[in-house]
Amino acid sequence: MSEIEVETSTSKLNVLFWAMYDLANTIYSMVIVSLIIFRYIVVIGQLEHGMTYGQASLVFGLVQGIMQGLLAICVPILGAFS
């Protein structure tokens, strides 16, 4: 069995590459959550439930706001257990 080599230092170029990857991954996630899913849910609300754009947008905003509020309350409590 061969031994595993552990790299203890890295170049600044590797750090830059990792930072660019992390930035791109974060931006992609934000675009999907904030733009694509919003449009998709609003269109479904309009087509399947006969809502206007404003009504579907309001329902989506209310649900998202309620969930954000619940997260703001629950996450610190759950974090205290870990």
Residue 77 pLDDT: 95
| Predicted model pTM | 0.58
Residue 24 pLDDT: 94
User: Residue 68 phi/psi, 5° resolution?
Assistant: -65, -40
Residue 76 pLDDT: 95
Burial of residue 55 (number of CB atoms within 10 Å: 0-12, 13-18, 19+): middle
Model pLDDT for residues 3-56, shown as the tens digit of each residue = 888 777 888 999 999 999 999 999 998 888 878 888 888 888 888 888 888 888
80 or 35: which leads in pLDDT: 80
**Cα(82)–Cα(79) distance, integer angstroms:** 5
**Cα(63)–Cα(56) distance, integer angstroms:** 11
Q: Three-state SS for 22?
A: helix
